[in-house]
Structure 1
Amino acid sequence: MKKLIFIASLLTFLNCNFKKENKHFLLIEQATWLLGNWTHTSQEGVFTERWEKLSDSTFVAESLLLKEKDTLFHENVLLEQRNDSLFYIVSIKNEEPTSFYATTIKANQIDFSNPKHDFPNLIRYQLIKKDSILASIHGKIKTKIQSQEFPMRRKK
């Protein structure tokens, strides 16, 4: 009888550990199309966004706007799945990080929202083709609804 209890306990322990090791992060897996280097050139300069997989539950990105040798804009993004939620956390130098949460996750679109943030309060990524995406930001500045679009191509 003691052997039977020991074997049952051992199997339960091994089964619990096996499940932990094989944990799947289904939400962030739907965002793998973001991974890679993206770029867009306009009169304002060259905008780049580089996405990398940090772990099974976390991607990181760096966004830059360069004009000649000057950095006009720089931010870091942490895309992280926690339990059954996907978070988009933006860090800009000398500012507190701002968190957005995924409200829409589709095969070709992800929306991140933070209704309490002034601008933007919605960040959207759309997969247009395998080598092109459209990032956009939306919200109100004072009483006027504003949006900006950032079409990007995959850099080879």
Structure 2
Amino acid sequence: MKKSTGTILLIVLICSANILMFISCQNKSEKKFDKLEKMNWLLGNWKNEMAEGVLTETWTKENDSTFSGTTYFIINKKDTVHSETIILTQLNDELVYRPTVKGQNNDEPVDFKLSSESEISFSFENPKHDYPQKIVYKKINETNLVATISGIQQGKQSQESYPMKKK
């Protein structure tokens, strides 16, 4: 009788420990990608029609830790003069913006690390990159954002802003 009571107690303790570990791991995974989740407002199709051409940016959620983006600047309704792919990923507690621009940096990605954040704005920086050194996304409202690139270009401070509307 004592042997079976001890066995039952041991089984209960093991099961309790497993349940606690499961709950603990579950809570951690729910908050694991919290920085990326704050940027859910970025998901979707964005567009800016200018006299020079049309800028489009599309963001999709690949998985819990990664968004992917594509950017195109098209002139004359058919000529793509700029294109890039972007990976926005949370690696541990760090958010990384990783663009690959066709024809630049040997077509290799460049990492920009999160430097500041709020509920409506995210800044990414790479001081070693030629230009830009800083990329900022700012949510204006549910259907409008402004993407800004800035830094030193040809020895002078430079900044370009791209307002976009959600399609």
Q: RMSD across aligned C-alpha pairs, in angstroms?
A: 1.6
User: Does residue 154 in structure 1 map to residue 159 in structure 2?
Assistant: no
Cα contact 1:30–1:105 (8 A) shared by 2? no
**What is the CA deviation profile of residues 15-39 of structure 1, one whole-angstrom value per residue up to 9, with x for unaligned ones?**
3344444512211111011011000
**What is the CA deviation profile of residues 89-136 of structure 1, one whole-angstrom value per residue up to 9, with x for unaligned ones?**
111235111001111111110000111112111000001111100000
User: Does residue 69 in structure 1 map to residue 81 in structure 2?
Assistant: no
Give percent identity, aligned residues only. Answer: 34
CA 1:58–1:20 in structure 2 vs 1: closer, same or farther (change >3 Å)?
farther
Amino acid at match of 2:55: F
Counterpart of 2:90 in structure 1 is 81
Counterpart of 2:45 in structure 1 is 37
Structure 1 unpaired stretches of 5+: none
Counterpart of 1:56 in structure 2 is 64
Which stretch shows the higher mean deviation, 21-30 or 121-130? 21-30
Q: Report the Cα distance in structure 2 between the residues aligned to 1:122 and 1:53, rounded to whole angstroms.
A: 23
Q: TM-score, normalised on structure 2?
A: 0.85
Q: Report the Cα distance in structure 2 between the residues aligned to 1:114 and 1:33, rounded to whole angstroms.
A: 24
Cα contact 1:74–1:92 (8 A) shared by 2? yes
Amino acid at match of 2:53: G
Amino acid at match of 1:105: E
Highest CA radius of gyration, 1 or 2? Answer: 2
Q: Report the Cα distance in structure 1 between the residues aligned to 2:18 and 2:154, rounded to whole angstroms.
A: 57
1:44 CA drift (Å) = 2.1
TM superposition outliers: structure 1 runs of 4+ over 6 Å: none
1:2 CA drift (Å) = 4.2
Counterpart of 2:20 in structure 1 is 15
Q: Report the Cα distance in structure 2 between the residues aligned to 1:19 and 1:60, rounded to whole angstroms.
A: 30
SS in 2 for 1:115: coil
Counterpart of 1:112 in structure 2 is 124
Q: Report the Cα distance in structure 1 between the residues aligned to 2:67 and 2:18, rounded to whole angstroms.
A: 31
Q: Report the Cα distance in structure 2 between the residues aligned to 1:4 and 1:87, rounded to whole angstroms.
A: 48
Q: Select 1:141's aligned residue among 124, 128, 153.
A: 153
The answer to which structure has the higher strand fraction is 1
Counterpart of 1:127 in structure 2 is 139
SS in 1 for 2:107: coil
Aligned length: 155
